[in-house]
Chain A
Amino acid sequence: MAARVACSLRSEPYKRYLIQFAHDLLDFRLQEIKSIISLLGCQASLRNTDLNNGSPFMEVALTSEEDAKAIMHRTVLSKSMYELWAEGSSISEVNMKLKQLPKGFTEPYTQENSSFRIMVDTFNKKISSSEKIKRIELLTDTESMFKGKIKLSSPEHSFHLLEFYKFDSAPSTEPEKVYFGRWISDGHRSVIKEFHLQTRHFIANTSMDACLSLVMANLAQVKESDLVLDPFVGSGGLLVSSAHYGAYVLGTDIDYMLLHAKARPSRAKQTTRAIDESVRSNLRQYGLESKYIDVLVADASQNHMWREGWRFDAIITDPPYGIREAAAKIACKETADVPTTEGEPHYPQRTQYQLGDIFRDLLNFAAKYLCLGGRLVYWLPIYKPDYSESCIPKHPCMSLESNCEQPLSQHISRRLITMVKIREFQELSDWDEASTKVNSVNSFRNNYFKSMQAVGVLNSDSVLRSEPLTSKQEGL
């Protein structure tokens, strides 16, 4: 069934386009595109069932080529967009449909004085270049509509024959689907490499992968002149991607040593951190220092630090789960054992910040301090055997927009949750009623270590240590 993403009273005719997704973060691709389309306010209709059998191709109806280009300019999970000329289950069917296209549609791109090329791309099956040439010859036979000159590098018009094969232990012999389209634009995947962590000045133990942090900014619909907060900022990777899309950025972290470049280094072979290893220098590295507002040493559980009535346009964060980074907040008096030594600096005692509490506080914070329509995007760790949709924390002011899974191991995954603020916050008399299931998140840490012990990754001693663990637990 086609999903109508945005519509308006202005009814311009739809044109058919085809998106070719990258084979990366499969569960996130559709949500990213939907989010970008709604951010740009494009009229669009997506045929998302196209993706069901593992195909990277999805047909989409748009009203203009400008919209198609604008979408591609923003996406990091799509490879290319084409104007769809024909589709079918075989090349001969596609060829036949091409010949039936009205001349007014094809001629602007196929005239004698223009240059063109035809590229053949197959998914799930490799074919030889002689087979590719055979296909091209079939499409450019004597009665062919392509009258222009063939030019392989930078032609005026680039056409693509795209074939998708089903894969059950081996590729099927016949294609499941064949498309022919005129190339419009490539996605903006080059920015992933530009922001790669390997070349990032300042990283911490759990710095977010560049591609995922861009996807997070897209799901949060970050735009020019927004104000974005990360309450668990770490080395500021999420702020870099938000600033890239034009937002002004702000972060808090409880880790004084990290924000002041005094924490233990996260890179192998590095013994001390450079004095300028900071969130600010990360933004400076990409020419985004003007988007830097501040970082603060603060306890994210203390919502009252922010002035009532202040509003952020988006909150994007990767809370600590207590696996590779300790989840901490400042203990309160009743439970803290305060050593008092006159004249010495006192470091307040931290207590473990229960996962359920983290997410409850985060949703509460977003409900208060997001602008209406603003988005909260965060990672939720999941012990798969316990997971059901009801595990996702709920808040009466926040509506669930999307929920994408990134598998990490057999039992563990994390889900990227996007929520939209739909009404202003009123103090709730009974929070427990609003979010009964938040408590099930609390058992994640125990289940995580149990499952690690079961596969022999950890012995029981390491459960107790507070050091960051090995790269086996990538991403947590």
Chain B
Amino acid sequence: MKLLTHNMLTSNIIKGVTKGFPLKIVPVQVEIKDVDYNPAFVVRTLSKVDWPALHQAAVETGFGDGLPETLGENFQQDEELLKKIHNALLQVEVIQGELVCPESGRKFPITNGIPNMLLQEHEVGQ
């Protein structure tokens, strides 16, 4: 699971949970996968990204170095920063670990890089 995906995911599917974002990452195995650098995509994606959540995810997986806690206005001209964000968004991958619902503590396992977001029957809301 890439941190970009983490930025889109919530646990609001659990019955009764309304503040299921951001999910806490408990990493067991994290890898860096080579992804072609495409600044156009990074900039476009940043307009949708929740920055504090990305920052937190990068810190939790051990790749938060060099990422500011708040994203300044002129990041588009900062090539070095864009490359770090590219790395955090697309290259850092959680291979094994867990996503934890911030409200209920419910855990979603990540195996072979694939999060399992399925719920048990009694957890499904209508």
Q: A residues engaging B (CB < 8 A)?
A: 224-225, 227, 248, 250, 252, 254, 256, 259-260, 289-290, 293-299, 302, 304-307, 309-311, 330-333, 336, 338, 346, 348-349
Contacts and interface: CB of A to CB of B under 8 A. Distances in A.
Contacts of A336: 121-122
B8 A299 contact: no
A309 B12 CA distance: 14
Interface stretch (B36-44, B62-70, B75-83): B36-44
A389 to B, nearest CB: 32
A227 B45 contact: yes
Contact of B13 (A290, A295, A302, A309): A302
B40 A306 contact: no
Contact of B2 (A293, A304, A306): A293
Nearest to B47: A311
B118 A348 contact: yes
Interface residues of B, number: 37
Given A306-B9, A307-B7, A225 B118 contact: no
B119 A299 contact: yes
10 contacts: A256-B116, A256-B118, A294-B113, A296-B116, A297-B114, A310-B7, A310-B8, A330-B118, A332-B124, A332-B126
B126 A296 contact: no
A129 to B, nearest CB: 49
Nearest to A332: B124
Given A290-B35, A307-B21, A346 B117 contact: no
A63 to B, nearest CB: 27
Contacts of B119: 299, 302, 330, 348
Contact of A224 (B10, B40, B48): B40
Contact of B8 (A224, A297, A307, A333): A307
A260 B113 CA distance: 10
B30 to A, nearest CB: 14
B121 A299 contact: no
Interface in B105-126: 111-122, 124-126
B116 to A, nearest CB: 4
A347 to B, nearest CB: 9
A256 B116 CA distance: 8
B104 interface: no
Contacts of B90: 293
Contact of B117 (A224, A305, A310): A305
Given A306-B10, A307-B9, A310-B8, A297 B122 contact: no
B124 A330 contact: yes
B117 A250 contact: no
B29 interface: no
Contacts of B13: 299, 302, 304-305
Given A260-B112, A297-B115, A306-B9, A225 B121 contact: no
Contacts of B58: none
A349 B121 contact: yes
A295 to B, nearest CB: 6
A296 B115 contact: yes
Contacts of B124: 302, 330-333
A333 B122 CA distance: 4
Nearest to A305: B13
Which among B40, B50, B115 has the highest number of chain A CB atoms within 10 Å?
B115
Contact of B40 (A225, A294, A297): A225
Given A250-B5, A310-B8, 7 more contacts: A252-B117, A294-B1, A297-B114, A298-B118, A330-B124, A331-B121, A336-B122
A296 B5 contact: yes
A166 to B, nearest CB: 50
Contacts of A254: 118
B85 interface: no
A332 B121 contact: yes
Given A250-B5, A260-B112, A332-B126, A304 B12 contact: yes
A333 B114 contact: no
Given A225-B40, A296-B5, A305 B12 contact: yes
Contacts of A225: 38, 40-41, 44
B48 A338 contact: no
A364 to B, nearest CB: 14
B100 interface: no
B88 interface: no
A332 B5 CA distance: 26
B9 A305 contact: yes
Given A330-B118, A330-B124, A305 B40 contact: no
Which among B119, B121, B125 has the highest number of chain A CB atoms within 10 Å?
B121
Contacts of B112: 260
Contacts of B21: 307
B4 interface: yes
Which among A254, A296, A299, A333 has the highest number of chain B CB atoms within 10 Å?
A296
